[in-house]
C-alpha cells in the first residue's frame, strides 16, 4: 500500500506571527506530515511588516519544526490547497466570535473543493486572547509584548520601537 503525504495549510496574514499562531502550528505539525504556513494579504488591513519580513519572521520562528514550511500566496486559499494536494486547511479558533466567520469560509471552501477539509484548532488557553492586532496596537503605544511573540518577532518589534522613538525625538 502506498502512503501519501498528508499536507495541510495554515493561512493568515501573520502581521506579525504570534505565540498563539506558533501554538496552533505546533499542534498541526503533530497531526500532518507537512504543514505549509501560507502568508497572504488582506486588503482590509494595512500591514505593519512587508510580506518578505513576515515570511522571514515566520521561517525563523518555525525553524524548530522540520515538517513546516512557509510560502506566500495571493488568491483563493482553496486554489492553493488543490494545487499542492493539501488535505486540510487549518484555522485557529480563539473565541466563539471567530466561529461564525470561520464556519462560513469552511463551507464555501468545501463547496469549491470538497476534497479539502477545514480543521479547527484552538490554541492553548494561555494564548487564547493573543492576536496580531493586539500586538500591533501595543507596539503603536510603545510597549514591546515579548511574552506574546516568538524571539525573532520580538527583535524586529524592538527595532521598530527604537525607530519610532528616534523619530519622535526630532
132 in catalytic set = yes
- Residue pair 155/144 in contact by the 8 Å Cβ criterion: no
Task: Give the active site residue among 27, 54, 132, 156.
Answer: 132
Is 21 an active-site residue?
A: yes
Catalytic residue among 6, 69, 94, 110: 94
Q: What beta strand segments (E) does the chain contain?
A: 7-12, 34-39, 68-72, 88-92, 117-121
Backbone dihedral angles phi then psi of residue 30, each to the nearest 5 degrees: -80, -25
Q: For residue 124, indicate whether it is catalytic.
A: no
Can you name the residues that pair with 91 across neighbouring β-strands?
120
Given CA atoms 44, 92, 134, 17 in this order, what sign does their dihedral have? negative
The catalytically annotated residue of 45, 64, 143, 158 is 45
Active-site residue among 21, 91, 136, 156? 21
Establish whether 94 is a catalytic residue.
yes
**Catalytic residue list:** 21, 45, 94, 132
Amino acid at each position: 500500500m502506498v502512503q501519501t503525504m498528508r499536507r495541510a495549510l495554515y493561512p493568515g496574514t501573520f502581521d506579525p506571527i504570534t505565540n498563539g499562531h506558533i501554538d496552533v502550528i505546533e499542534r498541526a505539525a503533530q497531526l500532518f506530515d507537512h504543514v505549509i504556513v501560507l502568508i497572504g494579504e488582506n486588503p482590509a488591513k494595512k500591514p505593519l511588516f512587508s510580506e518578505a519580513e513576515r515570511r522571514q519572521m515566520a521561517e525563523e520562528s518555525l525553524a524548530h519544526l522540520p515538517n513546516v514550511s512557509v510560502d506566500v500566496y495571493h488568491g483563493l486559499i482553496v486554489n492553493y490547497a488543490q494545487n499542492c494536494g493539501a488535505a486540510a486547511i487549518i484555522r485557529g479558533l480563539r473565541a466563539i466570535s471567530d466561529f461564525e466567520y470561520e464556519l462560513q469560509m469552511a463551507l464555501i471552501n468545501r463547496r469549491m473543493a470538497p476534497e479539502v477539509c477545514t480543521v479547527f484548532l484552538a490554541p492553548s488557553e494561555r494564548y487564547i486572547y493573543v492576536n496580531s492586532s493586539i500586538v500591533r496596537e501595543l507596539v503603536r503605544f510603545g510597549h514591546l509584548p515579548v511574552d506574546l511573540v516568538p524571539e525573532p518577532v520580538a527583535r524586529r518589534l524592538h527595532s521598530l520601537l527604537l525607530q519610532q522613538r528616534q523619530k519622535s525625538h526630532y
